Amino acid sequence: MDFPRTQPEMMSEDELARHEDGINRVAWTGGLTVAFVTCILLTFLLLTQAETWWQYSVYVLLAGIPLSYAAFSNFIVRQMQVMLLHRHHAQLSLKVNELQEMASKDELTGLYNRRYFYQAIQNELGKARAAKETLALLLMDLDGLKRINDEFGHGVGDIVIAGLSRAIVKHIRGSDVAARLGGDEFGIIMPSTDKRGAFSLARRLWEELEQTPVYEEDGKYVMVTVSIGVSGYPWGGEDLDEMIHWADSDMYANKVARKLPKPPAVIDPLVEAESMPEDLTPSL
Protein backbone atom coordinates (compact mmCIF):
# COMPACT_ATOMS: atom_id res chain seq x y z
CA MET A 1 0.00 0.00 0.00
CA ASP A 2 1.33 3.43 -0.95
CA PHE A 3 1.08 6.04 1.73
CA PRO A 4 0.94 9.74 0.85
CA ARG A 5 4.20 11.53 1.32
CA THR A 6 4.18 14.34 3.79
CA GLN A 7 6.74 17.06 4.22
CA PRO A 8 8.73 16.92 7.45
CA GLU A 9 7.54 19.38 10.01
CA MET A 10 9.79 22.33 10.56
CA MET A 11 11.59 22.21 13.89
CA SER A 12 11.13 25.00 16.36
CA GLU A 13 14.02 27.03 17.72
CA ASP A 14 13.97 25.07 20.99
CA GLU A 15 14.02 21.74 19.16
CA LEU A 16 16.89 22.92 16.96
CA ALA A 17 18.84 24.07 20.03
CA ARG A 18 18.30 20.69 21.72
CA HIS A 19 19.52 18.86 18.61
CA GLU A 20 22.56 21.11 18.41
CA ASP A 21 23.41 20.57 22.08
CA GLY A 22 23.03 16.80 21.68
CA ILE A 23 25.33 16.71 18.66
CA ASN A 24 27.93 18.81 20.47
CA ARG A 25 27.82 16.54 23.53
CA VAL A 26 28.23 13.42 21.42
CA ALA A 27 31.08 14.92 19.43
CA TRP A 28 33.03 16.22 22.41
CA THR A 29 32.38 13.19 24.61
CA GLY A 30 33.49 10.79 21.89
CA GLY A 31 36.58 12.82 21.01
CA LEU A 32 37.71 13.32 24.59
CA THR A 33 37.12 9.66 25.45
CA VAL A 34 39.18 8.45 22.50
CA ALA A 35 41.95 10.91 23.31
CA PHE A 36 41.97 9.95 27.00
CA VAL A 37 42.07 6.21 26.35
CA THR A 38 44.74 6.64 23.69
CA CYS A 39 46.93 8.69 25.99
CA ILE A 40 46.66 6.08 28.80
CA LEU A 41 47.54 3.20 26.45
CA LEU A 42 50.39 5.15 24.87
CA THR A 43 51.84 6.01 28.27
CA PHE A 44 51.57 2.39 29.40
CA LEU A 45 53.31 1.09 26.27
CA LEU A 46 56.05 3.67 26.43
CA LEU A 47 56.79 2.90 30.08
CA THR A 48 56.60 -0.89 29.90
CA GLN A 49 57.28 -2.03 26.35
CA ALA A 50 59.39 0.55 24.56
CA GLU A 51 63.14 -0.17 24.67
CA THR A 52 64.49 1.35 21.47
CA TRP A 53 63.84 4.59 19.61
CA TRP A 54 61.97 2.86 16.76
CA GLN A 55 59.55 1.29 19.25
CA TYR A 56 58.82 4.72 20.65
CA SER A 57 58.16 5.97 17.09
CA VAL A 58 55.87 3.06 16.26
CA TYR A 59 53.83 3.49 19.43
CA VAL A 60 53.46 7.21 18.82
CA LEU A 61 52.32 6.58 15.22
CA LEU A 62 49.86 3.94 16.36
CA ALA A 63 48.48 6.36 18.93
CA GLY A 64 47.97 8.90 16.17
CA ILE A 65 45.43 6.65 14.41
CA PRO A 66 42.64 6.84 17.01
CA LEU A 67 43.42 10.48 17.64
CA SER A 68 43.08 11.22 13.91
CA TYR A 69 39.87 9.21 13.83
CA ALA A 70 38.51 11.23 16.75
CA ALA A 71 39.36 14.51 15.02
CA PHE A 72 37.82 13.29 11.77
CA SER A 73 34.65 12.17 13.57
CA ASN A 74 34.32 15.57 15.21
CA PHE A 75 34.69 17.20 11.79
CA ILE A 76 31.95 14.98 10.29
CA VAL A 77 29.62 15.62 13.21
CA ARG A 78 30.19 19.36 12.86
CA GLN A 79 29.36 19.20 9.16
CA MET A 80 26.14 17.36 9.99
CA GLN A 81 25.32 20.09 12.44
CA VAL A 82 25.87 22.77 9.80
CA MET A 83 23.70 20.86 7.32
CA LEU A 84 20.96 20.59 9.91
CA LEU A 85 21.12 24.33 10.51
CA HIS A 86 21.00 25.10 6.78
CA ARG A 87 18.02 22.82 6.30
CA HIS A 88 16.23 24.53 9.15
CA HIS A 89 16.92 27.93 7.62
CA ALA A 90 15.66 26.73 4.23
CA GLN A 91 12.46 25.42 5.82
CA LEU A 92 12.05 28.66 7.71
CA SER A 93 12.52 30.75 4.55
CA LEU A 94 9.99 28.60 2.68
CA LYS A 95 7.48 28.99 5.51
CA VAL A 96 7.99 32.75 5.61
CA ASN A 97 7.45 32.99 1.84
CA GLU A 98 4.26 30.92 2.12
CA LEU A 99 2.97 33.13 4.93
CA GLN A 100 3.81 36.28 2.96
CA GLU A 101 2.01 34.86 -0.07
CA MET A 102 -1.04 34.01 2.03
CA ALA A 103 -1.01 37.44 3.66
CA SER A 104 -0.90 39.22 0.29
CA LYS A 105 -3.57 37.21 -1.56
CA ASP A 106 -7.37 37.38 -1.53
CA GLU A 107 -8.74 33.97 -0.57
CA LEU A 108 -11.78 34.01 -2.87
CA THR A 109 -10.21 35.23 -6.11
CA GLY A 110 -6.52 34.45 -5.75
CA LEU A 111 -5.73 38.07 -6.68
CA TYR A 112 -3.65 40.29 -4.46
CA ASN A 113 -5.38 42.04 -1.58
CA ARG A 114 -5.82 45.72 -0.78
CA ARG A 115 -2.73 46.05 1.42
CA TYR A 116 -0.42 44.52 -1.18
CA PHE A 117 -2.03 46.62 -3.94
CA TYR A 118 -1.21 49.92 -2.27
CA GLN A 119 2.31 48.81 -1.44
CA ALA A 120 2.83 47.76 -5.06
CA ILE A 121 1.49 50.99 -6.55
CA GLN A 122 3.74 53.05 -4.28
CA ASN A 123 6.74 51.03 -5.45
CA GLU A 124 5.76 51.22 -9.11
CA LEU A 125 5.12 54.95 -8.87
CA GLY A 126 8.60 55.44 -7.42
CA LYS A 127 10.10 53.40 -10.27
CA ALA A 128 8.11 55.36 -12.87
CA ARG A 129 9.33 58.67 -11.47
CA ALA A 130 12.95 57.54 -11.35
CA ALA A 131 12.88 56.11 -14.89
CA LYS A 132 10.58 58.86 -16.24
CA GLU A 133 8.16 56.24 -17.53
CA THR A 134 4.39 56.06 -17.60
CA LEU A 135 2.22 54.13 -15.18
CA ALA A 136 -1.48 53.26 -15.57
CA LEU A 137 -4.04 52.60 -12.87
CA LEU A 138 -7.47 51.02 -13.33
CA LEU A 139 -10.14 50.97 -10.65
CA MET A 140 -13.29 48.97 -11.32
CA ASP A 141 -16.54 48.21 -9.59
CA LEU A 142 -18.82 45.27 -10.35
CA ASP A 143 -22.27 46.58 -11.24
CA GLY A 144 -25.31 45.09 -9.53
CA LEU A 145 -23.67 42.66 -7.13
CA LYS A 146 -26.35 43.28 -4.49
CA ARG A 147 -29.07 42.39 -6.98
CA ILE A 148 -27.23 39.18 -7.90
CA ASN A 149 -26.87 38.23 -4.22
CA ASP A 150 -30.56 38.95 -3.56
CA GLU A 151 -31.76 37.01 -6.61
CA PHE A 152 -29.36 34.05 -6.73
CA GLY A 153 -27.74 34.00 -3.28
CA HIS A 154 -24.34 34.94 -1.96
CA GLY A 155 -22.83 31.68 -3.22
CA VAL A 156 -23.54 32.71 -6.79
CA GLY A 157 -22.30 36.19 -5.95
CA ASP A 158 -18.96 34.71 -4.91
CA ILE A 159 -18.83 32.70 -8.16
CA VAL A 160 -19.48 35.91 -10.12
CA ILE A 161 -16.66 37.72 -8.29
CA ALA A 162 -14.30 34.80 -8.95
CA GLY A 163 -15.38 34.76 -12.61
CA LEU A 164 -14.61 38.45 -12.96
CA SER A 165 -11.18 37.89 -11.44
CA ARG A 166 -10.48 35.18 -14.04
CA ALA A 167 -11.46 37.58 -16.81
CA ILE A 168 -9.07 40.17 -15.40
CA VAL A 169 -6.20 37.68 -15.20
CA LYS A 170 -6.91 36.59 -18.77
CA HIS A 171 -6.29 40.06 -20.18
CA ILE A 172 -3.45 41.46 -18.06
CA ARG A 173 0.28 41.03 -18.58
CA GLY A 174 2.68 39.23 -16.32
CA SER A 175 4.10 42.55 -15.12
CA ASP A 176 0.66 43.92 -14.17
CA VAL A 177 -0.70 43.67 -10.63
CA ALA A 178 -4.39 42.83 -10.21
CA ALA A 179 -6.04 42.99 -6.80
CA ARG A 180 -9.40 42.70 -5.14
CA LEU A 181 -9.67 45.82 -3.04
CA GLY A 182 -12.72 44.61 -1.13
CA GLY A 183 -16.26 43.47 -1.88
CA ASP A 184 -16.93 44.20 -5.55
CA GLU A 185 -13.99 46.58 -6.04
CA PHE A 186 -10.91 45.68 -8.07
CA GLY A 187 -7.74 47.44 -9.13
CA ILE A 188 -5.05 46.91 -11.75
CA ILE A 189 -1.56 48.43 -11.84
CA MET A 190 0.04 48.58 -15.28
CA PRO A 191 3.73 49.58 -15.32
CA SER A 192 5.14 51.27 -18.45
CA THR A 193 1.63 51.85 -19.81
CA ASP A 194 0.18 55.07 -21.20
CA LYS A 195 -3.43 56.24 -21.45
CA ARG A 196 -4.03 54.38 -24.71
CA GLY A 197 -2.87 51.09 -23.22
CA ALA A 198 -5.02 51.56 -20.15
CA PHE A 199 -8.17 52.24 -22.16
CA SER A 200 -7.35 49.30 -24.42
CA LEU A 201 -7.42 46.95 -21.42
CA ALA A 202 -10.68 48.49 -20.20
CA ARG A 203 -12.23 47.94 -23.63
CA ARG A 204 -11.11 44.30 -23.74
CA LEU A 205 -12.64 43.68 -20.33
CA TRP A 206 -15.94 45.27 -21.36
CA GLU A 207 -16.04 43.17 -24.53
CA GLU A 208 -15.23 39.97 -22.62
CA LEU A 209 -18.02 40.54 -20.11
CA GLU A 210 -20.52 41.47 -22.82
CA GLN A 211 -19.92 38.16 -24.61
CA THR A 212 -19.25 35.66 -21.83
CA PRO A 213 -21.45 34.91 -18.79
CA VAL A 214 -19.62 34.73 -15.49
CA TYR A 215 -22.10 32.18 -14.14
CA GLU A 216 -24.10 29.51 -15.96
CA GLU A 217 -25.98 26.50 -14.56
CA ASP A 218 -29.20 24.65 -15.44
CA GLY A 219 -30.03 27.05 -18.23
CA LYS A 220 -29.52 30.07 -15.99
CA TYR A 221 -26.71 32.45 -16.67
CA VAL A 222 -25.55 35.77 -15.30
CA MET A 223 -24.05 38.53 -17.42
CA VAL A 224 -22.37 41.38 -15.59
CA THR A 225 -20.91 44.76 -16.38
CA VAL A 226 -18.19 46.73 -14.64
CA SER A 227 -17.61 50.43 -14.20
CA ILE A 228 -13.97 51.27 -14.85
CA GLY A 229 -12.01 54.37 -13.98
CA VAL A 230 -8.65 55.04 -15.62
CA SER A 231 -5.79 57.13 -14.35
CA GLY A 232 -2.02 57.15 -14.53
CA TYR A 233 1.28 58.89 -14.10
CA PRO A 234 2.01 61.55 -15.15
CA TRP A 235 -1.11 62.12 -17.22
CA GLY A 236 -3.53 61.31 -14.37
CA GLY A 237 -1.76 62.85 -11.41
CA GLU A 238 1.66 63.54 -9.97
CA ASP A 239 1.20 61.53 -6.79
CA LEU A 240 -0.80 58.54 -5.59
CA ASP A 241 -3.63 60.56 -4.05
CA GLU A 242 -4.23 62.43 -7.31
CA MET A 243 -4.14 59.22 -9.33
CA ILE A 244 -6.61 57.47 -7.00
CA HIS A 245 -8.92 60.49 -6.99
CA TRP A 246 -8.83 60.77 -10.80
CA ALA A 247 -9.50 57.05 -11.33
CA ASP A 248 -12.26 57.00 -8.69
CA SER A 249 -13.99 60.03 -10.25
CA ASP A 250 -13.73 58.49 -13.69
CA MET A 251 -15.19 55.21 -12.40
CA TYR A 252 -18.10 57.02 -10.74
CA ALA A 253 -18.83 58.97 -13.93
CA ASN A 254 -18.76 55.70 -15.88
CA LYS A 255 -21.20 54.09 -13.42
CA VAL A 256 -23.61 57.06 -13.57
CA ALA A 257 -23.48 57.07 -17.37
CA ARG A 258 -24.47 53.39 -17.43
CA LYS A 259 -27.51 54.10 -15.27
CA LEU A 260 -28.79 56.95 -17.42
CA PRO A 261 -31.52 56.00 -19.90
CA LYS A 262 -30.36 55.98 -23.47
CA PRO A 263 -32.10 58.53 -25.72
CA PRO A 264 -34.30 57.07 -28.46
CA ALA A 265 -32.66 56.81 -31.83
CA VAL A 266 -33.86 59.48 -34.27
CA ILE A 267 -34.16 58.06 -37.77
CA ASP A 268 -34.21 60.35 -40.78
CA PRO A 269 -36.52 58.76 -43.42
CA LEU A 270 -34.47 60.20 -46.27
CA VAL A 271 -31.22 58.87 -44.85
CA GLU A 272 -32.88 55.52 -44.16
CA ALA A 273 -34.19 55.32 -47.70
CA GLU A 274 -30.79 56.15 -49.17
CA SER A 275 -29.15 53.44 -47.08
CA MET A 276 -31.60 50.70 -48.16
CA PRO A 277 -30.98 48.44 -51.16
CA GLU A 278 -32.53 49.60 -54.40
CA ASP A 279 -35.14 46.85 -54.55
CA LEU A 280 -36.28 47.59 -50.99
CA THR A 281 -36.41 51.40 -51.28
CA PRO A 282 -40.04 52.47 -51.02
CA SER A 283 -41.37 54.24 -54.03
CA LEU A 284 -42.58 57.78 -53.47
Instruction: Answer whether residue 263 shows pLDDT above 70.
Output: no
Side-chain half-sphere CA neighbours of 157 within 13 A = 15
- pLDDT attached to residue 23: 66
Q: What is the H or E stretch that residue 130 is in? A: helix 114-131
Mean residue pLDDT of the chain comes to: 77
Q: From residue 210, give the alpha-carbon distance in Å to each of 138, 159, 219.
A: 19, 17, 18
What is the rounded distance in angstroms from the CA atom of residue 39 to the CA atom of residue 35?
6
What is the rounded distance in angstroms from the CA atom of residue 37 to the CA atom of residue 35?
6
Highest mean pLDDT, choosing among 55-64, 248-257, 260-269: 248-257
- pLDDT attached to residue 10: 55
Nearest Cα to 229, choosing from 269, 211, 256?
A: 256
Nearest Cα to 189, choosing from 244, 152, 261?
A: 244
- Angle of helix 154-171 relative to helix 145-152, nearest 10 degrees? 140
Stretch 50-62: mean pLDDT, rounded? 61
What is the rounded distance in angstroms from the CA atom of residue 82 to the CA atom of residue 284?
100
* Percentage above 70 pLDDT, the chain: 63
The overall pTM is greater than 0.75: no
User: Residue 235 in 3-state DSSP?
Assistant: coil
- pLDDT attached to residue 235: 87
Stretch 24-36: mean pLDDT, rounded? 68
**pLDDT-based confidence at residue 103 (cuts at 50, 70, 90):** confident
Cβ burial, residue 139 (10 Å; 0-12/13-18/19+): buried
Stretch 51-69: mean pLDDT, rounded? 63
Instruction: Answer whether residue 161 shows pLDDT above 70.
Output: yes
171-217 residue pLDDT tens: 999 999 999 998 899 999 999 999 999 999 999 999 999 888 888 88
Nearest Cα to 58, choosing from 47, 66, 67, 50?
A: 50
β-bridge partners, 222: 215
**pLDDT-based confidence at residue 20 (cuts at 50, 70, 90):** low
